[in-house]
Amino acid sequence: MVIKNVNLETVCGITSVLPKNTKPEIAFAGKSNVGKSSLINALMNRKSYARISATPGKTQTINYYSINDEMYLVDLPGYGYAKVSEQEKIKWGQLIERYLHSSAQLKAVFLLIDIRHAPSENDRIMYQWIVDQGFHPIIIATKLDKIKRSQVQKQMKVLREGLKLIPGTTIIPFSSQTKQGRDEIWDMVENQFLN
């Protein structure tokens, strides 16, 4: 994808009415601090347009980034941030579910998991929500540069088993440091979901 322009067009909080967009949407979900903002910046060729925070849990909104006025990258709220009240967590969860359930233009959902760690209970719940809404999530294994090359296959197996992935599910290892995986993600979006 040649990025000509990007624009944070809509920001939705827990009480917002979600936009009825006419262009395709590609959504990104993941635990806070997994590297979601870094990934979205890398996809948009921007350094810090999507917020990268030292404090996890800051993204409490759904952010719609318009790309070339032809599609949206949709940044879903990061889940699993310990310092947030149970009530807040439930509200974010409801917002994410509402989005997955009601977005007519949603074409694909990418779920981000840190390649270093076994998936958490929240990761499994998120995966299941996405599947329950009729999507076949693609997994992005983030922070690839933090493990040795020799560990990659083993960690992918840990993700596959930990999430009980549907056989055939694609896992794309990604690093926002080296940008490895970026082109593969765009190729997949363009070839499989934008036509």
Report how far residue 109's alpha carbon sits from residue 193's, in angstroms, rounded to the nearest whole number: 10
Give min distance, CB of 187 to ligand GDP, in A: 19
Give min distance, CB of 33 to ligand GDP, in A: 4
Give min distance, CB of 143 to ligand GDP, in A: 4
CA distances in angstroms from 33 to 63, 81, 163, listed in the order given: 16, 9, 19
Dihedral sign for Cα 101, 12, 127, 135, please: positive
* Dihedral Cα 46, 57, 61, 166, nearest 10 deg: 80
Give min distance, CB of 60 to ligand GDP, in A: 11
> What is the number of the residue whose Cβ is closest to ligand GDP?
35
Q: Which is nearer to ligand GDP, 21 or 37 (CB)?
A: 37
Residues that bind ligand GDP (CB under 6 A): 30, 32-38, 52-53, 56, 59, 78, 142-143, 145-146, 175-177
β-pair type (71-75, 62-67)? antiparallel
β-pair type (138-142, 71-75)? unpaired
- HSE at residue 72, side-chain half, CA atoms within 13 A, is 26
Q: Which is nearer to ligand GDP, 103 or 176 (CB)?
A: 176
| Residue 71, φ and ψ in degrees, nearest 5 | -165, 175
Q: Which is nearer to ligand GDP, 52 or 84 (CB)?
A: 52
7: closest CA among 60, 58, 70, 54?
70
Q: Which is nearer to ligand GDP, 100 or 173 (CB)?
A: 173
Give min distance, CB of 105 to ligand GDP, in A: 23
Q: Which is nearer to ligand GDP, 82 or 104 (CB)?
A: 82
